[in-house]
Amino acid sequence: MIVRLHPHATQRLLERGATEAEVIATVENGERFPAKLGRTGFRRNFPFAGLWRGRPYANKQLEAYAVEEDGCWLVITVLVRYY
């Protein structure tokens, strides 16, 4: 499966503490769910065991929102939750 990132999604990776590899793993192996505007959401949990904005967290959850184009997934944006 081919996964591409929209420039908006790429920009959000650093701001939100995710990597491109994590986004690809989320799309390939994460939970799939319907999203607004005909998009598809993908969700996956990752071990984190680190600090984010000065607070310690054990895990992080990525949500990637994508559209299917020409047989591949185009990730529009990425959200990250720490817990």
A 10 A CB-CB count for 39 gives: 16
Cα within 13 Å of Cα(53), Cβ side: 8
Beta carbons of 3 and 78 less than 8 angstroms apart: no
Beta carbons of 13 and 19 less than 8 angstroms apart: yes
Q: Which of 21, 38, 47, 45 is nearest to 76 (CA)?
A: 38
12-59: pLDDT as tens digits: 998 999 999 999 999 999 999 999 999 999 999 999 999 999 999 999
pTM exceeds cut of 0.95: no
